[in-house]
Structure 1
Amino acid sequence: MSTILNVAVVGCGIGRSHIVEGYLPNADKFKVIALCDLDADRLKTIGDEFGVERCITNFDDLLAMDDVDIIDVCTPPGVHYSMVNKALEAGKHVVCEKPLVGSLQQVDEVIEAEKRARGKLMPVFQYRFGNGIEQAKAIIESGIAGKAYAGTVETMWRREAPYYAVPWRGKWKTELGGVLMGHAIHPHDIFTYLMGDIARVFGRVATRVNPIEVEDTISASLEMKSGALASLTATLGSVDEITRIRLQFENVTIESDHAPYNPGHALWKILPRTDAIKEQIDALLADWTDVPPRFQTQMARFYEAVQGQRPLPVTSADSRRSLELVTAFYHSSTTHQEVVLPLGSDHPLYQSWVPAAFR
């Protein structure tokens, strides 16, 4: 008989998606018993919708609840650091939306806190999960794909004035960045998940689309540690919306489904170079087990990790790699120089990439 873990969701915006896609489909594993939000009307609406009676506005009250096993942080990015640390100190397991925190220094401090904590910490990168990306990962990890040659990532989304009417969006202090932090961070994570670590970055950021503090258009040239080359481009000014990841290997070309917010779900385009390679791929995927997309699989695997049955599906180290790319982007764009990774405590933006005027 499995043990059901009790969850408190903090922030009822994206937090609602965590409930609908993550916890309800895994009702044999999780039960949402508490909600926390500063918006009392939204709190009541979500509480009524899901039958959650314990609805509070003070985050610290959750920490004292002995029956809460997991605190799921779905707040604006600017408060992630304090909430994650407090929850770990209280002995809770923690799920935290992206970005995990707001600097490399903060993520290193969280990693150290995690080592001392009783609970486990899982950052959210729900786009990693689904049949398409899982099959691509299996082909690459099996060695069938061969040497990596090149890759491209296009995050072409659309955000206009109504999106930025939410007070914390588009501002350095509360969002901690723009398209790099809130949007392209997902496809970029998928890219490194499949292609490995980045060695060098030359990036540009610009505010081209909206009258906001942070960037909404970016582009970069990368050299991977494997020697492969890649380019990343994103904008929030696209007319239509797509997320496209195309990877070229020695033996296969892999291209994602173009669905902007669920690229891992549908099967990806897999083009083998020869019939012999196709036969190897067919054999590898012959007994494929369906992988539900997004939060459903990420939360299910988190449960298994908490039970000691598997490693965490996403780790704080994954978040550090993601934030390292963000830091390199901002530094390269400001200095007009290539940035060599990894970045340590001696990097000029280690403590913060947020411009001094906005801290």
Structure 2
Amino acid sequence: MSGRRYRTAIVGTGGIAVAHAQALQGLAHRADLVAVADVDVSRAKTFAERWNVPHAHDGVTELLDAQQLDLVHLCTPPEQHAPLALRCLRAGASVLVEKPPTLSLAEFDALAAAEHDSTGHVATVFQHRFGSAATRLRRMAAAGELGRPLLATCATQWYRDDDYFAAPWRGTWESEGGGPTMGHGIHQFDLLLSILGPWREVTALAARQARPTDTEDVSMALVSFDNGAVASVVNSVVSPRQTSTLRFDYEHATVEVEHLYGYDDKDWTLTPAPGHDAVLAGWTAEGDNIPSGHAAQLGAVFDALDRGEPPPVTLTDARRTMDFVAALYASAFTGERVRSGQIGPDSPFATRMDGTGAPWKETSTP
């Protein structure tokens, strides 16, 4: 490693910014948090005082004019992600952007084009990829130790009440890009996709069951993969007993995790199939217990920058997940199966995740 120290800044000082500040604090030997910015400058100053950040700015323009930055953490509402990331790329700064990275595939592809013309890079926060258990599972699966992947289940069943959606940017296609598919379950099924690899086809439904939103509050999907595996995916914000679960059934073992907002090794179990107890040795091998979280991903980001490589999760990696989101909505709203890569630039689902329109919008009463 180069031992280089990175100059970083946080844009948007709401709740998720705390996770970024904590992660940076734990990596203080590798990076300096030199500035924060927020459209509410008083909130930026309060955040800066709390985390001992020397500079607070009232927006990205002032931030980029005043600071020479290596990495900008975008912690704003989703509708601001793409415009702000584009401005950072034009300034030559790399960006670590919270999910979803953009509101649409069209925005995503515009961001990828801008990255190509910049010295900076864009990485999406998909921190569940980086826990040691997920890393171990990917290694064992790639080595063939678990046999063929057969079946998987992925469920994000969370609870968000009406007050949660009182924030004006929540629950709308224009500002959040979608409901729990886009903003909540995306972490779990991104991990699913990172383990099972390229997906082939999705059949889905989405519904607005209880919340006063324009978007769905529940979605479900059946997915097939290039490697022959099949999976179910559930995303909900109407589930009083909250849980985040993943289960992978391979030929030689079942591997599963249950947690809520983050896991460590103790949340995972491996159950060998009869006659395949040997797989336990690979699973229980000595190693660091690294929890999933922003610190784990940020460490990997700095490792990549030290090597002169694009930081994870790259736009190439994240596009598979965003294509899945768009395909889920397209299937749910058209009633058709949707293949990977089917949503081209001329599709209405490329420019907006609700595409042809959510079916409940037509039946809503004033």
- Shorter-chain TM range is over 0.9
Q: Is the contact made by 2:263 and 2:291 (CA closer than 8 Å) also made in structure 1? A: no
Q: Is the contact made by 2:136 and 2:283 (CA closer than 8 Å) also made in structure 1? A: no
Q: What is the CA–CA distance in structure 2 between the aligned matches of 1:163 and 1:128, rounded to whole Å?
A: 27
Report the RMSD for the aligned CA atoms in angstroms: 2.0
After superposition, what is the alpha-carbon deviation per residue over 1:156-186, rounded to whole angstroms, capped at 9, x for unaligned? 1000022112221112211111101110000
Query: What's the CA shift for 1:334?
Result: 1.3
2:136 alignment counterpart: 135
1:86 alignment counterpart: 87
After superposition, what is the alpha-carbon deviation per residue over 1:166-210, rounded to whole angstroms, capped at 9, x for unaligned? 221112211111101110000010100111111111111111121
After superposition, what is the alpha-carbon deviation per residue over 1:201-227, rounded to whole angstroms, capped at 9, x for unaligned? 111111112111111101111111112
Map residues 245-264 of structure 1 onto 2, 5 A cutoff.
Answer: 245-256=246-257, 258-264=258-264
Q: What is the CA–CA distance in structure 1 between the aligned matches of 2:39 and 2:356, rounded to whole Å?
A: 28
Q: What is the CA–CA distance in structure 1 between the aligned matches of 2:280 and 2:142, rounded to whole Å?
A: 12
Q: Structure 1 stretch 107-116 or stretch 230-239: which is displaced more?
A: 107-116
2:320 alignment counterpart: 321
Q: Partner amino acid for 1:273?
A: A
Q: What is the CA–CA distance in structure 2 between the aligned matches of 1:137 and 1:200, rounded to whole Å?
A: 22
2:347 alignment counterpart: 347
Q: What is the CA–CA distance in structure 1 between the aligned matches of 2:325 and 2:31, rounded to whole Å?
A: 33
Q: Partner amino acid for 1:38?
A: V
Q: Partner amino acid for 2:5?
A: I
After superposition, what is the alpha-carbon deviation per residue over 1:211-250, rounded to whole angstroms, capped at 9, x for unaligned? 1111110111111111211111121111111001011111
Query: What's the CA shift for 1:137?
Result: 1.9
Q: Structure 1 stretch 343-352 or stretch 229-238: which is displaced more?
A: 343-352
Q: What is the CA–CA distance in structure 1 between the aligned matches of 2:345 and 2:269, rounded to whole Å?
A: 41
Q: Partner amino acid for 2:263?
A: P
Q: What is the CA–CA distance in structure 2 between the aligned matches of 1:280 and 1:205, rounded to whole Å?
A: 38
Partner SS state of residue 269, structure 1 = strand
Query: What's the CA shift for 1:356?
Result: 7.3
Q: Percent same amino acid at aligned positions?
A: 29
Partner SS state of residue 349, structure 2 = coil
User: Do the aligned partners of residues 357 and 342 (structure 1) sit closer, same or farther apart at CA in structure 2, a change above 3 Å counting?
Assistant: closer
Partner SS state of residue 176, structure 1 = coil
1:289 alignment counterpart: 288
Among 14, 17, 31, the alignment partner of 1:15 is 17
Q: What is the CA–CA distance in structure 1 between the aligned matches of 2:150 and 2:182, rounded to whole Å?
A: 27
Partner SS state of residue 212, structure 1 = coil
Q: What is the CA–CA distance in structure 1 between the aligned matches of 2:349 and 2:222, rounded to whole Å?
A: 20
1:76 alignment counterpart: 77
Query: What's the CA shift for 1:357?
Result: 7.9
Q: Structure 1 stretch 182-191 or stretch 335-344: which is displaced more?
A: 335-344
Q: What is the CA–CA distance in structure 1 between the aligned matches of 2:183 and 2:150, rounded to whole Å?
A: 28
Query: What's the CA shift for 1:352?
Result: 2.2
User: Do the aligned partners of residues 284 and 188 (structure 1) sit closer, same or farther apart at CA in structure 2, a change above 3 Å counting?
Assistant: closer
Q: Structure 1 stretch 23-32 or stretch 109-118: which is displaced more?
A: 109-118
TM-score, normalisation: structure 1: 0.93
1:338 alignment counterpart: 337
Map residues 1-359 of structure 1 onto 2, 5 A cutoff.
Answer: 2-13=3-14, 14-20=16-22, 22-256=23-257, 258-264=258-264, 266-274=266-274, 277-283=276-282, 285-308=284-307, 312-343=311-342, 344-354=344-354
Q: What is the CA–CA distance in structure 2 between the aligned matches of 1:296 and 1:223, rounded to whole Å?
A: 32
Q: What is the CA–CA distance in structure 2 between the aligned matches of 1:226 and 1:57, rounded to whole Å?
A: 49
User: Do the aligned partners of residues 283 and 239 (structure 1) sit closer, same or farther apart at CA in structure 2, a change above 3 Å counting?
Assistant: closer
Q: What is the CA–CA distance in structure 2 between the aligned matches of 1:212 and 1:131, rounded to whole Å?
A: 37
Aligned length: 355
Q: Is the contact made by 1:34 and 1:54 (CA closer than 8 Å) also made in structure 2? A: yes
User: Do the aligned partners of residues 160 and 284 (structure 1) sit closer, same or farther apart at CA in structure 2, a change above 3 Å counting?
Assistant: closer
Q: Is the contact made by 1:128 and 1:264 (CA closer than 8 Å) also made in structure 2? A: no
Q: Is the contact made by 1:134 and 1:264 (CA closer than 8 Å) also made in structure 2? A: no
Q: Partner amino acid for 2:277?
A: K
Q: Partner amino acid for 1:103?
A: S
Q: Structure 1 stretch 342-351 or stretch 297-306: which is displaced more?
A: 342-351
Q: Is the contact made by 2:259 and 2:267 (CA closer than 8 Å) also made in structure 1? A: no
Q: Is the contact made by 2:333 and 2:356 (CA closer than 8 Å) also made in structure 1? A: no
